[in-house]
A and B are shown apart, each in its own frame.
Chain A
Amino acid sequence: MSGVRRNEDEVRRMLETARPQVPAGLPARASRRGARLLRRRRVLRRLWLVAAGAVVVAFTVWAVMVQPWQAPPAGTTPPLDGW
């Protein structure tokens, strides 16, 4: 078991070599891109809300105009009994 540990430590030491230099512009570029991502997400959410609201309004207007809950007028006259 300790042999495995020793081998792993050997490779770990291999990995701990010189660290690359972060280019000066990289963090700024990342934050710009992140801001753009955030903005796009906000716009998408707003569009989605507007679409959902439009659907609700359209349904309400249609329901008020058509009033589908009212029974349709009878097509035939009811029979006259006991006259």
Chain B
Amino acid sequence: MAGAAGRLLHVATLLTAEPVDPPGTDERAQRLLTAALARTYADWDQLHGEDPYVRTRQDLAVRFARQAWRHRRPRGGLLDRLTPQERLVLVLRLYEGVPEEQASALLGISVERIRSVCDRSVATMRGTRSPTGRWGHTRQLRAAP
């Protein structure tokens, strides 16, 4: 539990792009993670053999996608240069290693788009591309029903 929570909190802080350094500055990430963990706790009897870690990660991703517009402002974290959607796709694909098809189903975005957003985010993070404009992109982010 403790190890999983640590890794998931890292995922959450990457998503919200909050700095980690002075402990306690990742307030939004903590709130996201608490909500996702509570949901998994409540659904525990209906998991039917599903991995609780995977379930919590899914809930975290969908929750973040739903409130992405609240996370569009830069906060000084590692992935600050990316838009919320780029952060979400990058973290799911590269940090968590979720296959393209699963990420596509989870976020309700086509596989081609997942691929292009991921490539774009990688290029931005490596500095070979200038960051995407902030407006207009956050709006396209929508969770699957």
Contacts and interface: CB of A to CB of B under 8 A. Distances in A.
Interface residues of A, number: 29
A67 B50 CA distance: 52
Contacts of A27: 1-2, 5, 37
Given A15-B78, A37-B42, A22 B6 contact: yes
Interface residues of B, number: 36
Contact of A30 (B37, B90, B122): B37
Contacts of A15: 14, 78, 90-91, 94-95
B10 A34 contact: no
Contact of A26 (B5, B40, B121, B123): B5
Q: Identify whether the interface residues of B are mostly helix, strand, loop, or mixed.
A: helix
A19 B38 contact: no
B42 A12 contact: no
A31 interface: yes
Given A37-B39, A41-B42, A7 B126 contact: yes
Given A11-B122, A34-B39, A38-B41, A20 B34 contact: no
B38 A11 contact: no
B37 A34 contact: yes
A7 B42 contact: no
Contacts of B38: 30-34, 36-37
Nearest to A17: B78
Contacts of B41: 30-31, 33-35, 37-38
A19 B125 contact: no
Given A8-B94, A11-B122, A11-B126, A19 B35 contact: no
- Which 3 interchain pairs have the tightest Cβ spacing? A34-B41, A30-B37, A33-B38
